[in-house]
Structure 1
């Protein structure tokens, strides 16, 4: 193990799920099954768990008929072991953040854990030993993993400090002083991204599909059902993934379906120096032809 890895206090391992309040639970279940390829598992009239692969669930939907649009209330990240979890709790407490219990439905799915609110009020649940299934869903067109959330925030500096200085995420790349990509211990180029904005919301959730062919089949389904494609066929300069984004505000934030996502080697993970890229659309999507081509994001 490198000196850097030995000395560094470790962060969360990787993203496991998002919790989303939706106005029509049945409609959102149908949307995620057809358009994202998730499999419905435990559910009743108040909630539903849907999974992508072996992990117990990737999305928890919560019935909120009082809403007209969805709202993401929490994200969950697994942690490698009890020692890291205890260290994270110590850092959260030392930084002056209140520690909460995990949501009741999550408590029975993990060994240990706790929750904390980020500077935007988003609940971050951290835990060990997230339950899993023996086999992935027997669905051909489905994601392999939930890779990251992308947060837009009017508290950019505070949010960046919370996730890096308190929780221990590592900086992978910056686009100006507007967007930062942060990685966790699963070594994806980013397991979290943050964008400077004039309000807070979870902008998108990224699901990695099995292949580019499956990305395009998902895109075709969105077109067939006339689901708005918010951003079409982006070739990401940072993560090297190719993706499109669809968005129906009733069912969650934008859902990104991507092919591939850069994974750092163990050495790169410890030694990578974050790039400071110019605020230019070509530094987000390498297929953009000019510096003023912002319109299609």
Structure 2
């Protein structure tokens, strides 16, 4: 775990907070943490156990709990670690076995960590799943996420109340996994400086500088199998206006490399395909 923390501090820009030999909280903004690491020597690769979402207030939390119960899902208590970090909340297991925690009053720090090319915030997890329809039904019809765009019947980009183009992306696959985690840098300069660090240390870049058509972000993806999924660092992720958030109709995009990265030269240019 120590080497993973070092990797995430240097290459992604996390600040290490509370930690011991078996557990660590890391953050990028004022929220108590953006990432929680748990040491498990039995693992041969990383495991994605859970994700948390802050909800606006007690009324929204209560409504979500009713929707979860009505859909036949078991309402679970928050994990022990989260209970002391928020005012109230509950957990539910999604169709892939991932624990989703919903809560209000998440603890925060007065200031962001000392500047060091740090991301501004965590934007989204991108998961692949062999339960694509069930996963979309859970997040959209139970938890209330909205579709921003689809790539045929293959990928869905879902947004929530922060109005980012997607706070969750789901892709059809023959397995379940966290494919990547995305963080917004403050500007393009920060993205390119992080990319330079990865190149300098010869860290693999799986998806070099790309211009996403759906979210309008410019990003790159770095990867070391010893330290989790791919880490996406981006700038310019689209934020819907309040009006767009209410009226937007999702597009159904063709599975064409140019619909993932507008800088691809042609429909058969798979220099990098998501």
User: TM-score scaled to structure 2, two decimals?
Assistant: 0.98
> What RMSD over aligned residues (CA atoms) do the two structures have, in Å?
0.8
Residue 138 of structure 2: aligned partner:
162
Structure 1 residues not aligned, in runs of 5+: 1-24
Residue 268 in 1 paired to residue 241 in 2?
no
Residue 80 in 1 paired to residue 87 in 2?
no
Residue 37 of structure 2: aligned partner:
61
Higher relative contact order structure (alpha carbons within 8 Å, sequence separation ≥ 6):
1
Shift, 1:295, TM fit: 4.3
8 Å CA contact 1:72–1:253 kept in 2: the answer is no
Higher mean Cα deviation, 287-296 or 158-167? 287-296
SS in structure 1 of the partner of residue 269 of structure 2 = coil
The 1-side partners of 2:132 and 2:271 are apart by 23
Q: Deviations over 1:52-90 (max 9, x none)?
A: 011110010100111121111111111000111011111
Residue 206 in 1 paired to residue 149 in 2?
no
SS in structure 1 of the partner of residue 175 of structure 2 = coil
Structure 2 residues not aligned, in runs of 5+: none
* Correspondence list, 1:1-297, <5 A: 25-297=1-273
Shift, 1:220, TM fit: 1.0
SS in structure 2 of the partner of residue 186 of structure 1 = coil
8 Å CA contact 1:37–1:139 kept in 2: the answer is no
Q: Deviations over 1:156-180 (max 9, x none)?
A: 0110111000000000001111011
User: TM-score scaled to structure 1, two decimals?
Assistant: 0.90
Count of aligned residue pairs for this structure pair: 273
Q: Flag as ranges the 4+ runs of structure 1 deviating above 4 A.
A: none
Shift, 1:252, TM fit: 1.4
Shift, 1:50, TM fit: 0.5
